[in-house]
Amino acid sequence: RRLLLSSRLSRDKADYGTVGGPFSLLSMALPARSSQRQLPYEHLSLLIFSLLILSLPPLAVGDGGEQQPQRHIVAGEFNLTYNYSVSSTNELVFRFNYTEIVDVTQAVRLTIVSESASSDHPVLVVARQQREIVSWRLPLFYSSEEKEFPYYIVSRTLCPTLPLGGSVTGRVHTIFVEVTTQNPNMTAFSLNASIVPNFQLYLGASHGIRSAHVSPSQPKYYKFEFPPNVSSVQVRMVSDDMLCMRVSVQAVNCPVYDLARNVEFTGIRQTASKKASLSVTTSDPALASATAFYVVLVVYPTDANCRPNIPAQLVPPDPGEHGRELYRRTKQLNITVLPSLGINEYFLPVFGTIFFFLLFYAAAFIIALLHHTYETRRLLARSRAGAANNYDGNSAPTEDTPESPLRQRGDAADVGDNSTDFNEASNSSPRNYLAVGETPTVRTATMSTTATFSTAAMSSLSMQRGTLPSQMSVVEPPASANSATTSASTNASDALASTSAASASATVGVGTGVGEDGGFVDLMAEANQEKEIFRLRKDMTVQDLSRKPPSRLRKKYKLYYWYLIIISIFYCLPVIQLVLTYQKVLNTSGDEDMCYYNFDCAHTLGVISSFNNVFSNISYVLLGLLFLLLCWRRDLLHQNLVRRDPRASQYGIPHHYGLYYAIGIALIMEGVLSGCYHICPSYNNFQFDTAFMYMLSGLCMLKIYQTRHPDVNASAHMAYMALAIIIFTGLLGVFYSKESTTFYTLFCILVIVTSILLTLEVYYVGRWKMNVGRLKRLYLLVRTDGLSCFRPQRRDRLVLLIFANSINWSIGLYGAFKRPEDFSTFMLSILMVNMMMYFVFYIIMKLRNGERLAFTPVAFTLLDIAAWAGAGYFFLQSPTNWEDSASGSRIRNQACVLAGFYDVHDIWHFLSAVAMFLGFNIILTMDDDLAYVRRDRIRVF
């Protein structure tokens, strides 16, 4: 009888889902057979106890005495909507079955809606599969900085079961969906389950573009498998609205992270508004080298993830069907998987680029060969013509070797007068640089240059040196004596032209001039060592500022490129290490918001995500090497010319190529660092791309200044220290320019103070020194000479400096008021504007003083203008913008425009490299017309 009672108790448990209910107790108390006539005494007591239990409310055996909810199992079918209600005492379990199809991945999508659910008593949904469990609740809450808002419609794709493959069929998969709540009242809901149509993505646009509607509570994902012999693809998303979302490529694993709170933890991912493009390879570490992946699409509840600089904009809620506020942010988008370029398709654009820039080498070689042939034939013809003029009719000339070009063009030592200039290219007569009303000059045989001393100049010299040279007396000669003095100085200058470069700076005698009262101006030999005498003149010549020994200057300017090589090594090594670390972190983490690529034209090679943007910088390297070769050739030609004829060292602009070599090295390093920057371009490492642009701007200005100021140009260590300060300022601007107006205010003050100091340095040709007695001496000078001491002696130079100061001050004030976000580009623009102003001033002054431009610099200028125009056009179409967010930058992404490999920014690299190369050649050749003009006839400006 007891065994029978136990079996009945087990049956009761199965029927009611409880343990030890009142009916089970009654069954234990009742006898097994109703026909029994007599009950034992112990059975009677048990019957009385059972009646007492029946009078009490039913209790569950669980903790706290709560009633156990009843669970109902519903056999569900796909594509049907079930409307039910649940409560704390009533649970529902839906069972869905589907049969596997061979070689087809099937995924089940559940959609549940409950507008009567509340945050205190949400509806809990648990989907159980064979190996996975997915759960969520209704309403689904997302929080922002301002408020918390619910979603009453949730749709999730369950983790699909991978197909077995082969010929196995008929395997049945079962999914249980449990719907529960702790609300004691009935909570209505509707449930729908369906097989996801077209769950598989295929390669190429010919298979169609997959369209989808996604919201924060209704994410979606699809599966893609790599076809045979395909190891790299591009996943592209395009949408017409600006709702912020996340596109993620994840390995084929379960669970799939498809919610806004967990999608950022795995896979390759990008934030996107209108556009996204992800390059995926089979060897990607974020995918664990899988041959398939999921494309996960998740919409954020706000746009803060895509626009961090803009306050979160919440979409106004739409009233639901039953008056509830449903926060719906539905985004419509299209997904396409396109094939990437194979490794064989890299060869043509890569080697085609190298071949194109090697054509510059071939063109330079041909031009140099033609120029050498032309010069040799011309000199040989002149040599034969000179021999024919001396031929007596009985004997032929014994030599056909071309003579020195200086002698072919005539020399003062040979001609005996100064009636013609020795530069046939300029066809200009000797110029007298004395202006009307200028004080007479004093010339010495040892100087061979003009020396003009006015009262103000002497006062300035006295202020600078403390006193005039002890052996110098100045007496102004009468007007009638000017011709004799000029003739004497001319003969002295002509005599000096026949000496070598070393003897030009030696003392050979004492010069005298006729004074106003019949006396003489007596200059002792020690006056040759007083550089102030030459730098005080109103109209200086290159001879006045090239008095230092050439060997000393050559060593001085060699330091420019040696220092630059050392700086480049120590600067580039940590930069390369840093950017490669960025690339490694990007590949490992999969967060592609770190780097601002043009994802629509980013070709992966090895670990480099955008190889084409990195490789296109080879243009700077190749053209920088070519510029070094051209400078080396000109340096060798000049050295050979000086060895043949020492007088060549006294003609033309002083030849010091150290700065030219530094410019060529800086162009090469610009290519290297620009390539480093494009490994992972972002705002934080943009300084790598601009550092050597600062160098190039500064070196070009120094080189233009050095052409006519070789003795007073800045030393290498001072120049690089100034450039280091500029780079350091740019570094500070990266961190502080966006946050405070204080930084831009201090920068504006720095620009103004630096402009004033450089103005004094340039105007006084390096003679101005700041010390405690400067203001006192200035006061004494004003008290002695009055306002006449402010009369400018170098008006051209003053006009340039006033114009440059006005531009620089305006730029500094603009920065203080507008505070541009891109501080590095802002500071680079200041240097570029100053370089262009000085170059234009140099060309204008060159033409104003009767000089002319040779054909070569004019041709380079025209080509350079065309190259800069094309480069500027492509630069303004930049396909990225790291001043914006990562998703905002991707909106600007563009397809490849050259050979299916290079984008518009790569073309900017090519054209800007050509433009800079041509610009450097303009500086290299702009004074070729002065190659055979004596330095005492070349003006300083």
pLDDT bracket for residue 648 (50, 70, 90): confident
pLDDT band at 549 (very low <50, low <70, confident <90, very high): confident
Apex 92 CA angle, 88 and 98, nearest 5 = 160
Q: Is 214 left (phi over 0), alpha (psi -120 to 50) or beta?
A: beta
User: Of residues 310 and 332, which shows the higher confidence score?
Assistant: 332
Considering the chain, what is the average pLDDT of its residues?
76
Share of the chain above pLDDT 70, in %: 70
434 pLDDT band (50/70/90 cuts)? very low
> Residue 907: what pLDDT?
96
Report whether pLDDT(647) > 60: yes
Q: Which residues of 197-233 are buried (b: 16+ CB within 10 A; e: fewer)?
A: eebbbebeeeeeebebebbbbbbbbbbbebeeeeebb
pLDDT band at 380 (very low <50, low <70, confident <90, very high): confident
Q: What is the pLDDT of residue 579?
A: 93
280-295 confidence digits (pLDDT tens): 988 887 777 678 899 9
174 phi, psi to nearest 5 deg: -120, 135
Band (pLDDT 50/70/90 cuts) for residue 531 is: low
308 has a pLDDT exceeding 50: yes
Q: What is the pLDDT of residue 850?
A: 87
Pick from 607, 563, 613: which is nearest to 584 by CA? 607
DSSP string computed for 209-268: PEEEEEBTTB-EEEEEEPPTT--EEEEEEEESS---EEEEEEES-SS---STTTGGGSSE
In this model, does residue 359 exceed pLDDT 80? yes
- What was the pLDDT predicted at 766? 62
For 98, the 3-state DSSP assignment is strand
Under DSSP, the state recorded for 597 is -
Q: What is the mean pLDDT of residues 864-881?
A: 93
List all residues 6 or more positions away from 812 whose beta carbon is below 8 Å from its beta carbon.
Answer: 747, 748, 749, 751, 752
Predicted pLDDT of residue 235: 93
pLDDT category at 627 given cuts 50, 70, 90 is very high
Higher local confidence (pLDDT), 516 or 778: 778
Question: Where residue 791 falls among pLDDT bands split at 50, 70, 90?
Answer: confident
* Model confidence at 704: pLDDT above 90: yes
pLDDT band at 325 (very low <50, low <70, confident <90, very high): low
Tens-place pLDDT, residues 91-150: 999 999 988 777 778 889 999 998 888 888 899 999 998 778 899 888 888 776 666 778
What is the DSSP-derived secondary structure letter of residue 476? P
Which token pair is 366?
């041909």
* CA 81/CA 111 separation, integer angstroms: 9
The model's pTM is 0.76
Q: Name the band, by pLDDT with cuts 50, 70 and 90, for residue 826.
A: confident
Q: Lowest-confidence range among 576-585, 720-729, 774-783?
A: 774-783
State the pLDDT at residue 261: 85
Residue 255 has pLDDT above 80, yes or no: yes
Tens of pLDDT, residue by residue over 177-223, are: 999 999 888 999 999 999 998 888 988 876 668 899 998 889 999 99
Cβ proximity of 219 and 107 under 8 Å: no
Per DSSP, the residues of 28-63 read HHS-S-TT-----HHHHHHHHHHHHHHTSPP--SSG
Whether 43 shows a pLDDT value over 70: the answer reads: no
Lowest-confidence region among 101-110, 271-280, 442-451: 442-451
Give every CB contact of residue 256 below 8 A, 6+ residues apart in sequence: 157, 159, 221, 250, 294, 296
How far, CA to CA in Å, does 371 sit from each of 364, 374, 377, 494, 624? 10, 5, 10, 31, 22
Please give the structure tokens belonging to residue 427: 């066809």
> 883 versus 29: which is more confidently predicted?
883
Single-letter residue type at 741:
T
DSSP 897: -
Say if residue 852's pLDDT is above 80.
yes
Name which of 37-51, 500-514, 642-656 the model is least confident about: 500-514
Helix (H, G, I), strand (E, B) or coil at 939: strand
Full set of structural domains in the chain with CATH:
2-65 (no CATH), 69-197 (2.60.120.380), 200-340 (2.60.120.680), 342-370+577-738+823-941 (1.20.1070), 434-538 (no CATH)
3-state secondary structure of 738: coil
Q: What end-to-end distance do the CA atoms of the chain give, in Å?
A: 126
Of residues 452 and 705, which shows the higher confidence score?
705
- Residue 291: the pLDDT is 83
User: Given the structure tokens 């529902």, which residue do they identify?
Assistant: 92
What's residue 664's pLDDT?
96
Report the pLDDT value the prediction gives residue 756, as an integer from 0 to 100: 87
